[in-house]
């Protein structure tokens, strides 16, 4: 039987009396809750979880959130939080009941469970292998995790990566994903098929909403997966999306920083992390735009190619000198809008600096990227620019474009360097043309980025 199979009234009665034991991945947690609002939240967000028979189950720990009956709470109800009967917090406000419940479960797992190496990380799985994303609050790991789940990845957790020391596999523990502030609306718009709980305002982290784990993720919680990639995300406003490999020493050091029980596990913890470094590719992901960051992860994991196009406005300095900077700014705006329009659905354009633009083209081979860039070049060259005050035609704008495809051993710098070399060749051979890196002298055919795995 699952939580959703119980009528809300019966579910509430059970929680208020002896409690219910609910399976959360490898753990069986007994819940005792007396607050009706929180019971409703739990019935909704935990609908897919199995209810365990206490007589057949070893309970991992017990979580109790109980309304306090002291005189001070007559007019402002509050509640107390207990783990295994031990008081952890009291005088808590009822509007914060759901975030407190999630925090209490995390605390219970972190303090009572010792059989796994535990990283503070989000974990998702596709095609039988797991992607681990360690990170502190604010790194963007939960938002990336939710976006990937919306695209069909299987949710393991957005809080803990549980590494089984003997096998090295990641154990699934799907839980509601906690999203904050702007991330809530981003994921709602991007994945309307996902189910959210209520928005909770006024927390120390702003507005929070929880995303219910998809049914398939909960049903397959007993299926572990070997880790293949470890990506350390960092959201930063204005940052260009970039996925950079990291050396093994940095990789191992970063893992120890994000491992909750590394010191407690001793040699077993050291060996488990060393095996993770040996068997996985390690990267840092910097991003501002969510779709661009997710595109890099999917290109890495789905064995899809990815290309980078460098675009430069031909003779832009001469145009500026002749017609002035105001007209030059108008040209930059026109080119930027055109790139946005023509790249919609196939790529992500961005201003790189000066008169240069870049377009990230996920899932595109060099030839496919060349075709797209040729369409862009042709469209731009067909447009004429007119002065606003006189409506006089001041000339036509052309672009030169250079393209490079991501290779398994690329860094951002090496990928950019090859695209820039191709752009230089386009300039050198007449401008208003597209050159792929395969047209450079001595260029080798790039291997798909997926071979990085």
* Residue 285, pLDDT score: 95
Residue 343 tokens read as 């790249």
pLDDT above 80 for 259:
yes
Confidence of residue 447 (pLDDT cuts 50, 70, 90): very low
Confidence of residue 388 (pLDDT cuts 50, 70, 90): low
Q: Residue 390 sits in a domain of what CATH number?
A: 3.30.70.270
* Residue 52, pLDDT score: 94
Identify whether residues 228 and 167 lie together within a single domain. Answer: yes
pLDDT over 70 for what percent of the chain?
A: 91
Picking from 269, 299, 329, the residue at the C-terminal end of a domain is: 299
pLDDT above 90 for 433:
yes
Look over the chain and give the mean of its residue pLDDT values, rounded to a whole number: 87
* Residue 451, pLDDT score: 31
* Residue 256, pLDDT score: 94
Identify whether residues 153 and 282 lie together within a single domain. Answer: yes
Picking from 112, 147, 163, the residue at the C-terminal end of a domain is: 112
DSSP 50: B
Q: How far is CA 414 from the centre of its chain?
A: 24
Q: List 393's β-bridge partners, or say none.
A: 386
Residue 292 tokens read as 């661009």
* Residue 448, pLDDT score: 39
Confidence of residue 262 (pLDDT cuts 50, 70, 90): confident
* Start-end of H helices in 259-308: 262-279, 290-301
Identify whether residues 139 and 278 lie together within a single domain. Answer: yes
Identify whether residues 404 and 268 lie together within a single domain. Answer: no
Residue 213 φ then ψ, to 5°:
-60, 135
pLDDT digits (tens, 9 = 90+) for 202-217: 777 788 899 999 999 9
Contact (CB, 8 A) for 248 and 280: no
Contact (CB, 8 A) for 405 and 369: yes
> Which residue range is the domain that position 21 belongs to?
3-112
Task: Give dist(CA 423, CA 39) in Å, integer.
Answer: 60
pLDDT above 90 for 305:
no
Q: List 434's β-bridge partners, or say none.
A: 401
252 CB contacts (<8 Å, ≥6 apart)? Answer: 273, 274, 277
Identify whether residues 53 and 74 lie together within a single domain. Answer: yes
User: At CB < 8 A and 24+ separation, what contacts does 196-203 make?
Assistant: 197/41, 197/44, 197/45, 197/98, 198/41, 198/98, 200/95, 200/96, 200/98, 200/99, 201/95, 202/95, 202/96, 203/96, 203/99
Identify whether residues 129 and 67 lie together within a single domain. Answer: no
Ramachandran quadrant class, 446 (left: phi over 0; alpha: psi -120 to 50; beta: rest)? beta
Let me know the angle formed at the C-alpha of 416 by 415 and 421, rounded to the nearest 5 degrees. Answer: 100
In the chain, the number of structural domains is 3
Identify whether residues 383 and 447 lie together within a single domain. Answer: yes
* Residue 450, pLDDT score: 38
Identify whether residues 378 and 273 lie together within a single domain. Answer: no
* Residue 27, pLDDT score: 93
* Residue 383, pLDDT score: 79
Confidence of residue 48 (pLDDT cuts 50, 70, 90): very high
Residue 401 φ then ψ, to 5°:
-130, 140
Confidence of residue 71 (pLDDT cuts 50, 70, 90): very low
* Residue 387, pLDDT score: 65
DSSP 197-262: ---EEEETTEEEEEEPPPHHHHHTTT--B-EEEEEEEEE-TTPPPEEEE--HHHHHHHHHHHBTTH
Strands 242-245 and 281-287: antiparallel
Please give the radius of gyration of the chain, using alpha carbons only, rounded to the nearest integer. 27
Confidence of residue 200 (pLDDT cuts 50, 70, 90): confident
pLDDT digits (tens, 9 = 90+) for 144-190: 999 999 999 999 999 999 999 988 999 999 999 999 999 999 999 99
* Residue 284, pLDDT score: 95
Identify whether residues 327 and 404 lie together within a single domain. Answer: yes
pLDDT digits (tens, 9 = 90+) for 88-117: 777 666 667 777 788 888 888 887 767 899
Identify whether residues 155 and 88 lie together within a single domain. Answer: no
pLDDT above 90 for 43:
yes
* Residue 413, pLDDT score: 86
Residue 418 φ then ψ, to 5°:
-70, -40
pLDDT above 60 for 444:
no
pTM more than 0.75: no
Least confident of 114-128, 177-191, 381-395: 381-395
Ramachandran quadrant class, 117 (left: phi over 0; alpha: psi -120 to 50; beta: rest)? beta
Let me know the angle formed at the C-alpha of 274 by 272 and 280, rounded to the nearest 5 degrees. Answer: 95
Task: Give dist(CA 59, CA 265) in Å, integer.
Answer: 22
Instruction: Identify which has the larger pLDDT, 96 or 305.
Output: 305
* Residue 6, pLDDT score: 94
Picking from 112, 142, 174, the residue at the C-terminal end of a domain is: 112
């Amino acid at each position: 039987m699952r939580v959703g199979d119980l009528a809300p009234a019966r579910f509430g009665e059970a929680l208020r009396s002896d409690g219910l034991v609910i399976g959360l991945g490898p753990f069986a947690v007994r819940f005792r809750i007396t607050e009706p609002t929180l019971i409703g939240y739990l019935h909704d967000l935990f609908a897919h979880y199995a209810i365990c028979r206490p007589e057949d189950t070893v309970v991992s720990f017990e979580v109790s959130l109980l309304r306090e009956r002291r005189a001070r709470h007559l007019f402002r109800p509050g509640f107390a939080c207990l783990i295994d009967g031990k008081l952890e917090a009291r005088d808590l406000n009822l509007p914060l009941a759901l975030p407190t419940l999630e925090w209490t479960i995390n605390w219970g797992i972190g303090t009572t469970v010792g059989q796994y190496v535990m990283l503070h990380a989000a974990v998702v799985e596709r095609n039988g292998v797991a992607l681990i994303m360690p990170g502190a609050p604010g790194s963007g790991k939960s938002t990336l995790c939710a976006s990937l789940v919306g695209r069909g990845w299987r949710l393991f957790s957005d809080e803990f990566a549980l590494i089984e020391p003997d096998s090295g596999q990641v154990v699934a523990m799907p839980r509601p994903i906690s999203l904050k502030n702007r991330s809530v609306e981003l994921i709602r718009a991007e994945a309307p098929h996902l189910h959210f709980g209520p928005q909770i305002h006024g927390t120390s982290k702003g507005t929070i909403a929880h995303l219910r784990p998809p049914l398939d993720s909960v049903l397959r919680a007993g299926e572990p997966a070997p880790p293949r990639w470890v990506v350390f995300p960092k959201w930063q406003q204005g940052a260009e999306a970039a996925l950079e490999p990291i050396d093994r020493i940095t990789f191992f050091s970063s893992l120890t920083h994000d491992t909750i029980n590394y010191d407690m596990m001793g040699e077993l913890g050291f060996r488990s992390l060393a095996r993770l470094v040996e068997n996985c590719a390690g990267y840092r992901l910097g991003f501002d735009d969510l779709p661009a960051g997710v595109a890099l992860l999917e290109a890495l994991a789905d064995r899809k190619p990815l290309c980078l196009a460098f675009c430069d406005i031909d003779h832009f300095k001469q145009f500026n000198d002749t017609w002035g900077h105001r007209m030059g700014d108008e040209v930059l705006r026109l080119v930027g809008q055109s790139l946005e329009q023509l790249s919609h659905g196939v790529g992500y354009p961005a201003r790189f600096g000066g008169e240069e633009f870049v377009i990230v083209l996920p899932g595109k081979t060099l030839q496919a990227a060349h075709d797209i860039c040729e369409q862009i070049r042709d469209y731009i060259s067909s447009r004429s620019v007119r002065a606003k005050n006189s409506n006089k035609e001041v000339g036509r704008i052309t672009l030169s474009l250079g393209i490079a495809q991501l290779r398994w051993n690329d860094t951002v710098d090496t990928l950019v360097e090859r695209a820039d070399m191709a752009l230089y060749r386009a300039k050198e051979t007449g401008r208003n043309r597209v050159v792929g890196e395969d047209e450079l002298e001595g260029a080798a055919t790039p291997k798909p980025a997926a071979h990085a795995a």
